[in-house]
Amino acid sequence: MTPNFTRRTAIATGIAALAMPGLLRAETVNRRNASAFVKRDWRDHFDSLGEGCLMADIDSRAVHYWGPDGETYALYPSSVPMTEELTRRGYTEIVRKRVGPDWTPTQSMRERDPTLPAYMPPGPDNPLGTHAMYLSWPAYLVHGTHDTRKIGRQSSSGCIGLYNRHIEELFGMAQVGTQVLLL
């Protein structure tokens, strides 16, 4: 390569960055996550669709949902547990759903952060957001969040969090009995 070609390429890249800063930044910042936001096949992870299938890919911070009709598919960015010790992986299912969930932090959460309240009613300060789907594992949920900074990050005490608008959409599609895989 000639020095002129390299310089022209650098200038063109700089101009593109000025014209489309979000596009260039998204390309460089999210490169390691790009494969997560590709449609997946439920057959790679589940034996049947049953009442539907939901897969939370913890490493890529993406939630995939396949409806029982075989046609419905949705993909959402998510928050994931802060540490591997807080992460539970494997198969479970949705056992209960609630609009306007209340929240009672677990004993271990309160030990890690003594400033947490013993109980929090539904509302804008509640970390479970507007909707929650409870899993067969105690204290593990797929829920919304009012704190949008958490999505795409390791920020939970074990749950999978979604933007409130996404959990509302998913809540409307996923039924009690939906199979769940935390991978």
Digits of tens for pLDDT over the chain (183 positions)? 444 444 444 444 444 444 444 333 333 334 445 555 788 999 999 999 999 999 999 999 999 999 999 999 999 999 999 999 999 999 999 999 999 999 999 999 999 999 999 999 999 999 999 999 999 999 999 999 999 999 999 999 999 999 999 999 999 999 999 999 999
Helix 3-19 to helix 21-29 angle (10° resolution) is 110
Architecture per CATH, domain 45-182, reads as Beta Barrel (2.40)
Sketch the domain layout of the chain as residue ranges: 45-182
Which parts of 18-103 are beta strand (E)? 53-57, 62-66, 73-77, 80-81, 90-99
Residue 169 burial (CB < 10 Å; 0-12/13-18/19+)?
A: middle
Instruction: Write out the catalytic residue numbers.
Output: 143, 159
Contact 142, 54 (CB under 8 A): yes
Given its phi and psi angles, is residue 167 left (phi above 0), alpha (psi -120 to 50 degrees) or beta? alpha
Looking up tokens 């929240």 gives 103
Using DSSP's 3-state secondary structure scheme, residue 72 falls into coil
Provide the token pair at 9: 């390429």
Which structure tokens are listed for 37?
């936001």
